[in-house]
Chains A and B, each alone.
Chain A
Amino acid sequence: MYKGPADWTLIGEVKNNPRIHIPIFGNGDIDSPEKAVEYRERYGVDGVMIGRASIGHPFIFREIKHYMATGQQLAPPTIAERVEAARTHLRSSIAWKGLYEGVVEMRRHYGNYLKGLPNVKEMRLRLCTERDPAVLEDLLDEVIGNYAAEAA
């Protein structure tokens, strides 16, 4: 199996094959609104599929749409929005998977939601070792509080 950067040229050739009339969607390496628009224009695909870039960052969909509609970058989500996304994710994980699995399987996601925040390591460790959902919610509040204080 080959690795390395995605080869979109061939996707474009499939899309432009006059025999092909079904929709062709491109997938691979799309991690920004600029890239989505660039690939749309360059390869003519009918749409794009987003994978890794959405993990911990479901905002990517609205960011691409905003950029396509206006040509302007949408402001990145605030820290509070990112933490609230993690909180929503935690709550629905518990609701769908049950308390134990919901809490444990959420652990793989915190780092992605909090990516790039300074000194986040300790907080991530606390989130990933806590079992009580009420305490987890307090910890998420603490993240918001910490960074609000820092931004002020």
Chain B
Amino acid sequence: MPRIGPIDLGEFPLLLAPMEDVSDPPFRALCKQHGADLMFTEFISSEGLIRKAAKGMKKLDIFEQERPIGIQLFGGSEDAMEEAARIAEAVRPDLIDINYGCPVHKVVNKGAGACLLQDVDKMVRLTEKVVKAVKLPVTVKTRLGWSEQTKNIMEVAERLQDVGIKRSASTDARGHSCTRALRIGR
């Protein structure tokens, strides 16, 4: 039975993905009502959070009835991620999740999201900083690799496990972790 730190998720849990502009509290309430076992906030920019940007702060809104819930952070700076993780921990989520999967330009250009898959050493350092910064379990959401030719998930999973992550999660198998709601449904 999968556990993440102290969180018992039951047999074969169903997780709601962190989706920008979708996984907000109103939508999460519906998913919880219909059986989601673990949910995540939309991804939150660590750079925004450490500057107390309103957009990021609003995304820290989590509610008792949503538990267990993870706050997802992204960023390419180890210091910013460390500080953002502490800010996120203060609102008392059940875990902190790091986004290593988002392939969109505005994220990758800042050395964040899936970009880190191109520099596993940095990914490991960044993860370790976050793990050490907080008492909460830390999980990651990543993908198989940066490109079809560089699928390095096996190395990534082993090395991140070694620095203390609790779930090498939801290994997104493809290019969709940042699909926007407006483009869905066509």
Contacts and interface: CB of A to CB of B under 8 A. Distances in A.
B124 interface: no
Interface stretch (B74-82, B83-91, B151-159): B151-159
Interface in A129-149: none
Nearest to B165: A22
Contacts of B22: 55
**Size category, A interface:** 35 or more
A6 B154 contact: no
A65 B14 contact: yes
A61 B176 CA distance: 20
B113 to A, nearest CB: 11
Interface of B: 2-4, 9, 12-17, 19, 21-22, 24-27, 29-31, 33-37, 61, 103, 114, 141, 144, 146-148, 151, 153-154, 157-158, 161, 165-177, 179, 181-182, 184-185
A24 B15 CA distance: 12
A121 to B, nearest CB: 13
B153 A62 contact: no
Given A51-B17, A55-B22, A1 B114 contact: yes
Contact of A23 (B4, B16, B61, B154): B4
Given A19-B158, A61-B36, A89-B27, A24 B169 contact: yes
B25 A61 contact: no
Can you list the 9 inter-chain pairs with the closest CB atoms, starting with the nearest?
Answer: A6-B173, A61-B35, A51-B17, A27-B170, A28-B173, A92-B26, A23-B2, A49-B170, A47-B13
Contact of B168 (A1, A4, A20): A20
B69 to A, nearest CB: 14
**Chain A CB within 10 A, most for which of B14, B15, B21:** B14
